[in-house]
Amino acid sequence: MVSADIWKTNLELNDKLIIKIMEKVTKDIFYKEIGALNVQVSVRGDYPYTCIFSLKNGTVKGKTVDKYINGKNGLITTDYYFNYSI
Protein backbone atom coordinates (compact mmCIF):
# COMPACT_ATOMS: atom_id res chain seq x y z
CA MET A 1 0.00 0.00 0.00
CA VAL A 2 1.31 3.45 -0.95
CA SER A 3 1.21 6.11 1.75
CA ALA A 4 -0.73 9.33 1.15
CA ASP A 5 2.47 11.41 1.40
CA ILE A 6 4.23 9.39 -1.30
CA TRP A 7 1.12 9.52 -3.51
CA LYS A 8 0.89 13.32 -3.10
CA THR A 9 4.61 13.73 -3.84
CA ASN A 10 4.28 11.64 -7.01
CA LEU A 11 1.32 13.76 -8.17
CA GLU A 12 3.29 16.96 -7.54
CA LEU A 13 6.28 15.62 -9.50
CA ASN A 14 4.01 14.52 -12.34
CA ASP A 15 2.39 17.97 -12.39
CA LYS A 16 5.81 19.65 -12.64
CA LEU A 17 6.82 17.31 -15.47
CA ILE A 18 3.55 17.93 -17.29
CA ILE A 19 4.10 21.69 -17.20
CA LYS A 20 7.67 21.30 -18.52
CA ILE A 21 6.47 19.67 -21.75
CA MET A 22 3.67 22.18 -22.27
CA GLU A 23 3.52 25.64 -23.71
CA LYS A 24 1.70 28.40 -21.85
CA VAL A 25 -1.07 29.74 -24.10
CA THR A 26 -4.00 32.15 -23.92
CA LYS A 27 -7.47 31.02 -22.87
CA ASP A 28 -8.79 31.39 -26.44
CA ILE A 29 -5.99 29.30 -27.97
CA PHE A 30 -6.30 26.67 -25.23
CA TYR A 31 -10.01 26.08 -25.77
CA LYS A 32 -9.63 26.20 -29.56
CA GLU A 33 -6.98 23.45 -29.43
CA ILE A 34 -8.53 21.33 -26.67
CA GLY A 35 -12.03 21.66 -28.14
CA ALA A 36 -10.93 19.82 -31.28
CA LEU A 37 -9.88 16.77 -29.25
CA ASN A 38 -11.79 14.00 -27.49
CA VAL A 39 -10.46 14.56 -23.96
CA GLN A 40 -11.47 13.69 -20.44
CA VAL A 41 -10.95 16.13 -17.57
CA SER A 42 -9.69 15.32 -14.09
CA VAL A 43 -9.58 17.83 -11.25
CA ARG A 44 -6.68 17.77 -8.81
CA GLY A 45 -6.15 19.38 -5.46
CA ASP A 46 -8.18 21.66 -3.29
CA TYR A 47 -9.61 24.99 -4.36
CA PRO A 48 -8.20 26.70 -6.40
CA TYR A 49 -8.20 23.72 -8.72
CA THR A 50 -5.87 22.27 -11.33
CA CYS A 51 -7.54 20.50 -14.25
CA ILE A 52 -5.78 17.94 -16.44
CA PHE A 53 -7.13 17.31 -19.95
CA SER A 54 -6.12 13.86 -21.28
CA LEU A 55 -6.83 11.76 -24.31
CA LYS A 56 -8.52 8.40 -23.76
CA ASN A 57 -5.11 6.68 -23.94
CA GLY A 58 -3.85 8.79 -21.00
CA THR A 59 -1.74 11.29 -22.96
CA VAL A 60 -1.98 14.66 -21.25
CA LYS A 61 -2.80 17.37 -23.80
CA GLY A 62 -3.67 20.33 -21.60
CA LYS A 63 -3.73 21.74 -18.11
CA THR A 64 -5.39 24.69 -16.40
CA VAL A 65 -4.00 25.99 -13.13
CA ASP A 66 -6.11 28.30 -10.96
CA LYS A 67 -4.31 30.49 -8.45
CA TYR A 68 -5.06 33.34 -6.09
CA ILE A 69 -4.01 36.82 -7.18
CA ASN A 70 -3.77 38.45 -3.72
CA GLY A 71 -3.88 35.88 -0.95
CA LYS A 72 -6.53 33.32 -0.14
CA ASN A 73 -9.37 35.85 -0.06
CA GLY A 74 -8.45 37.42 -3.38
CA LEU A 75 -9.52 36.86 -6.93
CA ILE A 76 -8.59 33.77 -8.94
CA THR A 77 -6.65 33.79 -12.19
CA THR A 78 -6.08 30.82 -14.49
CA ASP A 79 -2.98 29.81 -16.46
CA TYR A 80 -3.49 27.63 -19.54
CA TYR A 81 -0.97 25.09 -20.88
CA PHE A 82 -1.17 23.00 -24.06
CA ASN A 83 1.00 20.09 -25.16
CA TYR A 84 1.85 20.55 -28.85
CA SER A 85 4.60 17.89 -28.78
CA ILE A 86 2.34 14.84 -29.06
Q: What pLDDT digit, counting tens, does each position of 2-11 carry?
A: 444 444 444 4
Q: Which residues of 5-41 are buried (b: 16+ CB within 10 A; e: fewer)?
A: eeeeeeeeeebeebbeebeebeeeebeebbeeeebee
- Segments of the chain with pLDDT less than 70: 1-20, 86
* The pLDDT value given to residue 19: 53
Overall pTM > 0.85: no
**Distance (Å, whole) CA 83 – CA 86:** 7
**Distance (Å, whole) CA 27 – CA 77:** 11
* The pLDDT value given to residue 2: 43
Cα separations in angstroms, 52 against 42, 71, 74: 5, 24, 24
Q: How many domains does the chain have?
A: 1
Could you list the residue range(s) of the whole structural domain that residue 78 is in? 4-82
